[in-house]
Structure 1
Amino acid sequence: MEYALILSGENRTELEQVLSHFSHNSADSLKLKAAKYLISNMPGHYSYYGSSLDAYKNAVDSSSVLKRLPWSIRNIFYLYPYQDVYSLMDVKRVEDVKCITASYLISNIEKAFECWKYPWAQHLGFDDFCEYLLPYRIGNEPLNNWRDSLEGVYCSVLQKMRGVDELFESPYQACMRLNDKLIEEMNQARSDSVCFTHSLIGTKTVVGMRCLEYVPTAVLIMRSLGIPVSFEMIEQWSSRRGRHYWNAVYHFTGLRYPFTGFDSRPRGLNQDYKMNKVYRRTYAANNQTLIRQYPDEPIPAFFEDRFVKDVTHEYMTCYDITVDLRCLPEEKREYAYLCVFNNEHWTPVHYGRINKSKVTFTHVGPQTMFIAGYYIDDKIVPASLPFHVNLDGTVTYISPVETEKIALTIVRKYPLLHRFANYSRHLIGTAIEASDYPDFRKS
């Protein structure tokens, strides 16, 4: 914690006021511990500020279209510029330790402890409370009084569960019912064809919103009512291009049920899409991250984030695998990367320390084709043969024989996903016509 206090500079008195506030009464000993947790892990958390962002917020606030929307969807629009804030010229990054006020932090702690009293939060120990309910932010969004804004907004949704203990004490049920309300709000906004245009973001529609827009706001809304929900992510699917973000609710059974706020109910993940490595966004800094272990070596941007942890083992049976490296890097490297193909290039999803001509990757999901690579000049340089991790954790290398040819019949070049199969049913009875003429006079 002393490190955070030193970094805070002139703002140190604000942080010390928080510690002093909870030090006078022995009944506040747990709140003092919570304050120390927030302050100790505060370095590295920040927001961006600037005139263009202020102007954008004012535009959202004054929009007659967005004013009619519930807080949940307006907040998604508020956060849009922060997805690509690095492209803005007039913004300044400000660390939380240098600007957060004592009153803001004290209020956040008090309200978080109130949320801990909800029946569906009673299974949380102090460490879980710190991870799921206590944090005052989820990303690099500006500091704001989101707990105050949400106070009382969704309480009535959950009060309907009173009288049935099995429902009222269930984080799963609380999450499902609240998310049903968010889905209802989103569907209404879609039916109204809500869109908003601004120079910072272009034109954004509710219909075009993606998982990255849904997930952070869903965490804040769930957190405001004591529902333990996390922010999960994968950097690259195994079976298709693209990354993905989703939520998961932490149940009293110890299980986590995935869902996507505003979009899908808690359930199992879509099995059409194979995963390889799963990460969780956290408030606490992870001392095991690559940038903490070896800060002097160039590393991919994803691994510069100190506020993620590997939770692959919570989603699948995984294995530690050792891979043969066919060549040494042109520049000295301590680490090699586990990479998945995204239809264009190899995307790093994990890392391992090089040991002579081998590298070991931990907690790897099976049934995925990988390659090991080095990170040199901002790109991945292949270091091994492609290999497949089998269901039993063994590794099968794919080694081409350049002097032989084989005949190969490909029935399809892309997996038949469940949702695409559903689309195809709508084609039954369809007649498809083509013509060389716009008016179809000959077809």
Structure 2
Amino acid sequence: MKQTTVYILLLLLTACQSKDKLDMALEYAGDNRAELEKVLEHYQGDEMKYRAARFLIENMVGHSGHDSTAVQQFQAIYDKYVAISEKYNWNVATEWQKEIDRFWSENRYKVLHVSSQKDIRVVRADWLIREIDRSFKAWQENAYTRNAPFEDFCRYILPYRYAEGICIDNCRDVFYQRHAHIFNDTTRSISIVIDSLHQQYSDQLYCDMAAVDMPIYDAKTFEYIKRGVCDTKAWYNCLQLSALGMAVAIDFVPAWANRSGAHTWNSLIINGETYPFEPFNDWERWKYKQVYNNESFDRYWGRFRAAKIYRRTFEYYLEGPLADPKVNREDIPPLFLNPFMRDVSNEYFKTVDVNISLSRPIKKNIKYAYLCIYGNQGWIPVQWGKIRKNGKVLFKDMGKDIVYLPMFYQNGNLLPAGPAFLLDSNGQQIILQPEKEVKPITVSTYTSFLLPDEILKLEAMLKNACLCGDNDPEFSHPDTLVCLPRNQEAWGNEITINNPSQYRYLRLDLPADSIGLCEIAFYSPASDEPIQPTKIISTNLHSTNLKEDIRQIMDGYSATGWRGKANQKGFICWELPKSCSIAKIKYYPYIAPHFIRGKELSLQYWDNAWITAGTQRWEKGTLTFNDVPQGTIYRVRTEGTNDRIFTYKNGMIQWY
């Protein structure tokens, strides 16, 4: 972190303890103090606008952007980008990507050392007064937010800055002139109004394929080049919607807890409720409250789990290690050096406070521990907790169904502070650490991530398949116990069955002529063990892969599987050891083994560090590693991949 920014943060901290926030801001403004005082004097007779001006000035310290001359300086770069895009009719094809990347690699050096300027020292009085007046006007014209609390107005409508580095200009005046009064009718659904507005900007598309790090300093440039990442579109949307009096914010996950990467999106705040939406004009952009609730899974994108969701803010929040003068800045993870954010996790999912006792030695100068999740090939801090004298730490408002690791952070390095644990869906902690017992582990891939078309293929093979029961092997009077739902989780499904009758024979009737399964098991009431021995007695399906055997769907390994095809609708029949009730079934759709052919890969387990249990090269099929300690977390590492961690119990893989 730059020393100047650290200085500003320390100044903020000192000011909060010793002087009024406004006095501190005006003092830090230096030669620009007179301009800010003009604004305050201008609103002396208007209490609300005076408070708004004070809110902006008090929180201006720490914010910075580029001068508009920076955009002019790089206009030739943007012109070339557009020329190449027009050459390919704005299609992000492979050749477009190659040409953009080649051009950008030759010009990247030109933008490496662009100086920024501090808002508090450059904002002019007339500009700020115009911003405040227009914000109030748009707020009162907006039928959705005109009755919002003044605090919400200050947080979500008034701010002129929603991202650092962006130029201070008149873009919000332009947006107001284009679209004033579109939010004056609450009889229309807010999502419909937003979508109709953003449809006018549908040529702005997500692209992370080429020149991703090319800076975009203002809204006008983004409209010109029409391509960007979620971060860019999110601040653009905020400038646009806030200019129209809509309370809007940027929310983000610093890292997903069960897949690689992070994400940024927009949220509307109406009557105290958060309405998140995809920044780009996507056809399913309003489903985030369902997808990010840490309970469900999405039909197209699978399961999302978030340990934390934060909201970017204009006002600063000094808390935790950042507010502790006894903590060196080098001993704080980068995420928590940012005072312009606050935790909004409980607006998305049910959270739980996590109390743990640190088991590793605590050095005298370590005051905080950090709860981490596994991200892109490493551990990522997502929450802090102050270490108490007894070695215990409280981590507030954590997401469930996630594997965590407590760690210390010193001089930019993470050090384990205790064992990893699963915070299960009930909020209970399950310690994950190596046991003395060793067993083989069979794997078929290094990641749980699947593309939407792969998920839909899984769904097509199993949706509406029905499980029937009978005591006659010919199924003369079968009862339907359950039909599989449309949505299939790629890495395991469990369905409860409410039928007290007992059956000796089971049959899975397929809606189509093919099936793919990695594993299926049947359970009697009050038992966590599958009914055994259960044997397949008949099927009209034949294998589509000679290396696979139908018995692999019941071999006790979720990594192995079988695909079958019939000349007509398929079925599989089983015989149980005796007649019994079926209380639930568990099944895993078929996913073909996939690694990177010919590359060396290793199975690793966590024991305060990643320990290699074995190394192999993959050609086809599954891989088995012998003599692996049980009870901990694992990953399959190979060069050039973003692997995921998993647990392994009785042959079943559970991804995190």
Taking structure 1 as the reference length, what is the TM-score of the superposition? 0.79
Counterparts of 1:21-420 in structure 2, within 5 Å, are: 21-23=42-44, 25=45, 28-49=46-67, 53-57=71-75, 59-60=77-78, 88-117=111-140, 118-140=142-164, 141-155=166-180, 158=182, 162=185, 165-167=186-188, 173-183=189-199, 185-186=201-202, 188=203, 209-252=228-271, 254-264=272-282, 265-269=285-289, 270=291, 271=297, 272-288=303-319, 290-294=321-325, 296-297=328-329, 298-329=331-362, 332-355=365-388, 356-401=390-435, 403-410=436-443, 414-415=447-448, 419-420=452-453
Quick one: structure 1 residues 333 and 368, their matched pair in 2 at CA, closer, same or farther if it must change by over 3 Å?
A: same
Instruction: For residue 12 of structure 1, report the CA deviation from its aligned partner.
Output: 0.5
| Structure 2: stretches of 5+ with no match in the other structure | 1-21, 87-103, 217-221, 292-296, 298-302, 462-512, 514-543, 545-656
- 1:38-87: per-residue Cα shift (whole Å, max 9, x none)? 1111111111349765412465479876999xxxxxxxxxxxx9xxx999
| Equivalence for 1:8 | 29
- 1:238-257: per-residue Cα shift (whole Å, max 9, x none)? 110111111111123x3212
- In the alignment, the residues of structure 2 paired with residue 293 and residue 110 of structure 1 have an alpha-carbon distance, to the nearest angstrom, of 38
Which deviates further from its counterpart, 116-125 or 306-315? Answer: 116-125
Instruction: For residue 225 of structure 1, report the CA deviation from its aligned partner.
Output: 1.1
Q: Secondary structure at the match of 2:393?
A: strand
Supply the AA of the counterpart residue of 1:16: E
- In the alignment, the residues of structure 1 paired with residue 179 and residue 191 of structure 2 have an alpha-carbon distance, to the nearest angstrom, of 12
Which deviates further from its counterpart, 378-387 or 177-186? Answer: 177-186
- In the alignment, the residues of structure 2 paired with residue 3 and residue 36 of structure 1 have an alpha-carbon distance, to the nearest angstrom, of 12
- In the alignment, the residues of structure 1 paired with residue 112 and residue 454 of structure 2 have an alpha-carbon distance, to the nearest angstrom, of 45
| Equivalence for 1:440 | none
- In the alignment, the residues of structure 2 paired with residue 392 and residue 363 of structure 1 have an alpha-carbon distance, to the nearest angstrom, of 14
Q: Secondary structure at the match of 1:257?
A: strand
Supply the AA of the counterpart residue of 2:151: D
Q: Secondary structure at the match of 1:249?
A: strand
Which deviates further from its counterpart, 410-419 or 285-294? Answer: 410-419
Q: Secondary structure at the match of 2:148?
A: coil
- In the alignment, the residues of structure 2 paired with residue 390 and residue 326 of structure 1 have an alpha-carbon distance, to the nearest angstrom, of 21
Quick one: structure 1 residues 198 and 166, their matched pair in 2 at CA, closer, same or farther if it must change by over 3 Å?
A: closer
Between the aligned residues of both structures, percent identity stands at: 25
Flag the structure with higher strand content: 2
Supply the AA of the counterpart residue of 2:34: T
Q: Secondary structure at the match of 1:116?
A: helix
- In the alignment, the residues of structure 1 paired with residue 68 and residue 200 of structure 2 have an alpha-carbon distance, to the nearest angstrom, of 34
- In the alignment, the residues of structure 2 paired with residue 64 and residue 316 of structure 1 have an alpha-carbon distance, to the nearest angstrom, of 41
Q: Secondary structure at the match of 1:302?
A: helix
Quick one: structure 1 residues 66 and 110, their matched pair in 2 at CA, closer, same or farther if it must change by over 3 Å?
A: farther
- In the alignment, the residues of structure 2 paired with residue 396 and residue 88 of structure 1 have an alpha-carbon distance, to the nearest angstrom, of 49
Instruction: For residue 224 of structure 1, report the CA deviation from its aligned partner.
Output: 1.2
Flag the structure with higher helix content: 1
Supply the AA of the counterpart residue of 1:227: M
Does structure 1 conserve the Cα–Cα contact (< 8 Å) formed by 2:407 and 2:415? Answer: yes
- In the alignment, the residues of structure 1 paired with residue 397 and residue 80 of structure 2 have an alpha-carbon distance, to the nearest angstrom, of 49
Does structure 2 conserve the Cα–Cα contact (< 8 Å) formed by 1:277 and 1:310? Answer: yes
Does structure 2 conserve the Cα–Cα contact (< 8 Å) formed by 1:120 and 1:227? Answer: yes
Does structure 2 conserve the Cα–Cα contact (< 8 Å) formed by 1:320 and 1:362? Answer: yes
- In the alignment, the residues of structure 1 paired with residue 419 and residue 258 of structure 2 have an alpha-carbon distance, to the nearest angstrom, of 19
- In the alignment, the residues of structure 1 paired with residue 159 and residue 441 of structure 2 have an alpha-carbon distance, to the nearest angstrom, of 54
Q: Secondary structure at the match of 1:152?
A: helix
Quick one: structure 1 residues 410 and 381, their matched pair in 2 at CA, closer, same or farther if it must change by over 3 Å?
A: same
- In the alignment, the residues of structure 1 paired with residue 215 and residue 392 of structure 2 have an alpha-carbon distance, to the nearest angstrom, of 45
Quick one: structure 1 residues 87 and 138, their matched pair in 2 at CA, closer, same or farther if it must change by over 3 Å?
A: farther
Does structure 2 conserve the Cα–Cα contact (< 8 Å) formed by 1:154 and 1:178? Answer: no
Which deviates further from its counterpart, 122-131 or 285-294? Answer: 285-294
- In the alignment, the residues of structure 2 paired with residue 66 and residue 418 of structure 1 have an alpha-carbon distance, to the nearest angstrom, of 29
Taking structure 2 as the reference length, what is the TM-score of the superposition? 0.55
Supply the AA of the counterpart residue of 1:267: K
- In the alignment, the residues of structure 1 paired with residue 136 and residue 151 of structure 2 have an alpha-carbon distance, to the nearest angstrom, of 13
Say which structure, 1 or 2, has more relative contact order (CA 8 Å, 6+ apart).
Answer: 1
Quick one: structure 1 residues 369 and 212, their matched pair in 2 at CA, closer, same or farther if it must change by over 3 Å?
A: same
Does structure 2 conserve the Cα–Cα contact (< 8 Å) formed by 1:182 and 1:261? Answer: no
- In the alignment, the residues of structure 2 paired with residue 175 and residue 139 of structure 1 have an alpha-carbon distance, to the nearest angstrom, of 24
Q: 2:39 aligns with which of 7, 15, 18?
A: 18
| Structure 1: stretches of 5+ with no match in the other structure | 69-80, 168-172, 432-443
Does structure 2 conserve the Cα–Cα contact (< 8 Å) formed by 1:370 and 1:388? Answer: yes
Quick one: structure 1 residues 60 and 150, their matched pair in 2 at CA, closer, same or farther if it must change by over 3 Å?
A: farther
